[in-house]
């Protein structure tokens, strides 16, 4: 963690208290935290959209893990925005989120990706469900510009399935608010007090496929709170460029399995049927299925001999990556349990 470049801004405690006490204000005070790494142009556009909100944030934070000062310089063009620098570097989303939680006294902490550009009434709609004290977390839609995304997966938005998998479909518009099991990290919020009472943000999830937000929400649900998906709180998710290619894909595949095992084990427990079904499903589909495809490639006479070997080898590698992810996830989960 590192410094705060907030100039002469009042402290987060005094800011939140002043705004909660304003006459006529019935909604909770809200801090919006933008987490970023080396994407100053996206941060600028994100902050421009936040500045145009019909219901302005009571506090806006930018938590930047970049090694240079470009994002800091962008934030200086927005005097009301607090800048926090993390020296943790790339792949440390949980650390940056935890810094935001520690830095604000607002009732609700909102997380917005730097490449998610909020509609003008986004925050206004995001805060409305908090009128129900049973609601501990609220998230909204993320438009991705894909044809038909508004209707895809309408009956499976943000669910933890019986087989232990998590569904997404956070671009879908069901036309009404829904109770869900988890939310999209790019457009989500939570009551700060609830998150603190549940142990804050846990940093169990390294690599390219993180699960720290899912960890947070599964704990919220286990504590008996409501989580609401409201399709009226809309951001346009432009999806800034990331690394691509076979090496990235294999790393994502590995960390996806590793971190999901840790997620289910640490939030549900090893004896929960969903944890066991997830492991069994990976062994059946990702491991045995890939090996069957590999054997099929070797006997495919429509492929040249080298192509057969290359395709079969790729399937074997993918099966091995899945096994490695499950194994290291189980070891990491055991360490998490031992450390409690």
Element (H, E) at 216: helix 212-222
116 or 242: which leads in pLDDT:
116
| 283-319 tens-digit pLDDT | 999 999 989 988 998 888 888 888 888 888 998 999 9
Q: Which CATH entry fits the domain spanning 12-237: 3.30.200.20, 3.40.50.150, 2.40.50.140, 3.90.550.10?
A: 3.90.550.10
Give me the mean pLDDT over the 327-339 stretch. 92
Is the model's pLDDT at 10 over the cut of 60? no
Sorted by where each begins, the domain ranges of the chain are 12-237, 246-339
Q: Tell me if 33 sits within 8 A of 118, measured CB to CB.
A: no
Q: What is the pLDDT of residue 89?
A: 78
Average pLDDT, the chain: 90
Residue pair 133/108 in contact (Cβ under 8 Å)? The answer is no
DSSP string for 224-262: T-EEEEEEEEEEEE-------SHHHHHHHHHHHHHHHHH
Residue of higher predicted confidence among 135 and 305: 135
Q: In this structure, are residues 316 and 289 in contact, taking their beta carbons and an 8 Å threshold?
A: no
pLDDT of residue 13: 40
The arithmetic mean of pLDDT across residues 138-151, rounded, is 95
Burial pattern 46-58, b for ≥16 Cβ within 10 A else e, equals: bbebbeebebbbb
d(CA 25, CA 46): 26
Token pair of 338, please?
Answer: 């031992």
Comparing C-alpha atoms, which of 184, 189, 196, 231 is closest to residue 27? 189
Calpha distance 169→96 (Å, rounded): 25
pLDDT at position 24 is 53
Res 328: pLDDT: 97
pLDDT per residue as tens digits for the range 88-131: 877 788 999 999 999 999 999 999 999 999 999 999 999 999 99
> What pLDDT score was predicted for residue 59?
98
Other beta carbons less than 10 A from residue 162's beta carbon:
10
Angle (CA) 321-327-333 rounded to 5° is: 130
Q: Give the pLDDT score at 5.
A: 58
């Amino acid at each position: 963690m590192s410094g705060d470049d907030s100039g002469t801004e009042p402290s987060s405690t005094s800011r939140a208290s002043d705004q909660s006490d304003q006459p006529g204000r019935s909604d909770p005070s809200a801090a919006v935290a933008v987490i970023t790494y080396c994407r100053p142009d996206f941060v600028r556009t994100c902050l421009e959209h936040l500045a145009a909100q019909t219901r302005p944030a009571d506090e806006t934070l930018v938590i930047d893990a970049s090694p240079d000062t470009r994002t800091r310089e962008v934030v200086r063009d927005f005097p009301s925005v607090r800048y926090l620098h993390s020296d943790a570097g790339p792949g440390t989303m949980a650390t940056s989120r935890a810094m935001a939680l520690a830095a604000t006294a607002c009732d609700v902490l909102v997380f917005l990706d730097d490449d998610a550009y909020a509609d003008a009434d986004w925050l206004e709609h995001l805060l409305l469900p908090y009128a129900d004290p049973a609601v501990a977390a609220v998230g909204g839609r993320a438009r991705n510009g894909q044809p038909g995304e508004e209707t895809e997966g309408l009956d499976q938005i943000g669910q933890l399935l019986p087989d232990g998998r998590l569904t997404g479909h956070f671009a879908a518009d069901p036309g009404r608010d829904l109770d869900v099991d988890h939310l999209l990290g790019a457009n989500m919020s939570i009551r700060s007090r609830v998150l603190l009472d549940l142990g804050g943000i846990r940093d169990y999830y390294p690599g390219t496929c993180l699960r720290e937000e899912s960890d947070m929400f599964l704990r919220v649900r286990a504590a008996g709170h409501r989580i609401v998906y409201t399709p009226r709180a809309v951001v346009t998710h432009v999806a800034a460029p990331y690394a691509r290619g076979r090496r990235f894909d294999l790393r994502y595949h590995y960390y996806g399995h590793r971190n999901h095992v840790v997620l289910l084990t640490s939030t549900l427990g090893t004896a929960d049927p969903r944890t066991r079904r997830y492991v069994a499903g990976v062994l059946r589909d990702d491991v045995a299925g890939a090996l069957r495809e590999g054997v099929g490639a070797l006997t495919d006479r429509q492929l040249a001999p080298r192509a057969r070997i290359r395709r079969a080898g790729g399937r074997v590698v993918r099966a091995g990556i899945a096994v490695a992810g499950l194994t290291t996830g189980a070891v990491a989960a055991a360490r998490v349990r031992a450390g409690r």
